[in-house]
Chain A
């Protein structure tokens, strides 16, 4: 450990996160979670504890690291219901990092985020801080999706094995090879049950040039800016929803009250439908949102208007805070904001994995939200 490692980046390019940045990231990651992705609260507590102990969380742009640098992504896997009772030990991610370095007999240079939406935005930051590594400012989804094979890294050809899965007891499991990403997902789910319902999983390292080419860029700076915009607008008593739209090229497509709500679990995932009755400029209109862990399809008066992988975000009309699928309830007044997803999620190859058909809507074609040059102010 003591020998000096040659850095593949310039330390002057690192941005060190503050407590305020973490507060903003919690909100921003919630917005990009499009209703899913899990609650970042416990991850934030772990990050704050790490900061108190003197660890630093640092962000690095993907074009400021050498192309052959090795980057590893990491995420939590398991049941959120178990996670709120049996808390993580805190160093599972660090053990994944060390086990991976042993396995490939090479040091990891930087960490990568799989999913900026929800809890997995903060988990890898803690690992990076404990391991003394920078966090690359990008992710594999630009939002939240329910399964591992749905990252741009996997979609564009990176195989996520060999991977390492560590639990709080100290067990480390290596998946040396999976014949497909779906097989990897399936085996990891079986393993996490034996490990007590929660673990951290690190996937096969990637070279930085691949991450730069296929990662969704600037995820952390975007998520933090989104959270900051909400906090600032609330302080200034301005409209936080307008602030969110202005930043992400999004638009407020509906104002409505939840007039019906159906939810159930199917194959371990939360599935359902929301109906909205419009108010303000939407009075007289109705809308529907289909849920599968995340918000997937938005319909106005029965017509499909926005679909996955574009982002459908529900925000509390008054506070601008994101609403997750567990928080939905009859009578809530929500603003629906549509945000265009990154072009990397819109290719034919990506749509096979994350388009409407991949979630069981073969009859719906993805029609991309047009990019907004300027909001008609």
Chain B
């Protein structure tokens, strides 16, 4: 049986076919406005290139930056109700308080605050004001809002008020999609609430997009289930994405790093993805990207999704090389995707990082004769500068002083030297479609992240066990094979500045997908 991975990016749609651990074929097509035709073209191309029987495809995994791009470009977002349960807490900081004005306007700025919520130890902060929810429902009908997002203080400890609010809203407004924050985000009210609101406003786009993916598969005669990759490199059933589009926000860099790990068989490494304008650098640990510990900005909004800790620098194949009074500079300006026409080695007139790589015999693209006349001191100085930039960002991404290899992927990785400091550089085959490979190999996960009160005989150890059981349950419900589950993250953090009676626990488990036989 085969697995097909598809990466739907802003410019290209890539596809690969995997059989076990080997990549049978990898192709690129252009992303189209309707999504369907681009995916269909990529699927047809990759099936032809690999020569497989399409009836033997066990599963299709799709990675997409569609929803992230919608927020960044402020497109396809609906007006929604943003309801917070927690008064009197947070009275001075209404929903969307720290959003950029234009984005707040696009989702309509319909923020509501009502009484409700819990304390950190599970006590009720305020009883839920059900009459207020009924009044909000009337407002939702009057304004014709498309969806609602409900966020309750400490819903990670008790989700009863979020569920009750959803129930009332749907009684009053039949068919209204209601997003509960406990399903989306983690501890940290403003960031979780923002994620829930963005999710609600992307629901109709998610519905259209998943339908478009389904259409492409049907048109290609593929009948197996399909999945979409989420931020942590694991899969969601396609229908789940109709309800949770924001969980795909960081799947792009995750897939490229996981793909790099798979293509090389290396589980601990620094991955450098060199594109035309920027390079993204991150660390792999046990085959998964290291996660960022701080908040991550999406389209100007603070969120607390678990996202890979990726560091970007303005260096790519198309970066401009300029000789100034104070030395040679490389980037951040770039000719981008026009490198194949504008760079000197391709007959253009702009000196780019690619020309420097060709002139120093590091790469063999374009016409070497065209760069033969370049000043050798300039070439040497630019090459040194490129190496220094790459070395600095690789150093920054290392997890420990133990030497690990550096994996170079992406079209611009010809710039990479053979060694960076004391580290060896590896360039796998199929480096240009690492994203689609990452999608093809994604696994299924389950996660718990909330505060546990250590009362009524519950100890730190029993709380950890409870958290793990919850995470396993979620993974199995999402389609993982129970015998393949393993814990990949486990941390607990006693609440600082308080006598020790509560602790925040985060556990994540992953496993292989169950529906292997199609």
Contact = CB atoms under 8 A, between A and B. Distances in A.
Interface of A: 42, 45-46, 49-50, 77-82, 84-91, 168-170, 189-190, 192-193, 196-197, 257, 259-260, 265, 268-270, 326-327, 329-333
Contacts of A333: 392, 395-396
A329 B395 CA distance: 12
A86 B493 contact: no
A332 B399 CA distance: 10
12 contacts: A49-B97, A79-B495, A85-B153, A86-B119, A89-B92, A192-B498, A193-B498, A193-B499, A197-B495, A326-B293, A330-B399, A331-B397
Interface stretch (B83-91, B201-209, B355-363, B375-383): B83-91
Given A168-B88, A193-B498, A84 B187 contact: yes
Interface in B354-410: 392, 395-401
Interface residues of B, number: 42
B100 interface: no
Nearest to B498: A79
B25 interface: no
A196 B398 contact: no
A88 B187 contact: no
| 10 pairs of A and B residues whose beta carbons are closest in the complex | A90-B92, A87-B90, A196-B119, A79-B495, A89-B88, A79-B498, A84-B188, A79-B497, A89-B91, A331-B398
Contacts of B190: 42, 84, 87
A197 B499 CA distance: 10
Contacts of A42: 93, 190
B93 A90 contact: yes
Nearest to A195: B119
A190 B398 CA distance: 42
Nearest to B304: A84
B264 interface: no
A200 B156 CA distance: 25
Contacts of B97: 45, 49
A329 B293 contact: yes
B496 A86 contact: no
B496 A89 contact: no
The main secondary structure of chain A at its interface with chain B is mixed
A281 to B, nearest CB: 17
A197 B503 CA distance: 13
A84 to B, nearest CB: 5
Contact of A49 (B93, B293, B496): B93
B189 A85 contact: yes
Given A79-B498, A82-B498, A326-B293, 4 more contacts: A85-B156, A85-B187, A91-B92, A329-B293
Interface in B267-313: 293-294
B497 A78 contact: yes
Contacts of A268: 494, 496-500
Contact of A265 (B153, B154, B397, B494): B494
B496 A265 contact: yes
A151 B495 CA distance: 24
B398 A78 contact: no
A192 B311 CA distance: 39
A91 B91 CA distance: 9
**Most A CB within 10 A of own CB, among B88, B98, B119, B496:** B496
Given A86-B89, A89-B89, A331-B395, A196 B499 contact: no
A23 B451 CA distance: 32
**Most B CB within 10 A of own CB, among A80, A88, A269, A331:** A331
Contacts of A257: 395
Interface string B475-518: 00000000000000000011111111100100000000000000
Nearest to A48: B97
A268 B497 CA distance: 5
B5 interface: no
Contacts of A332: 396
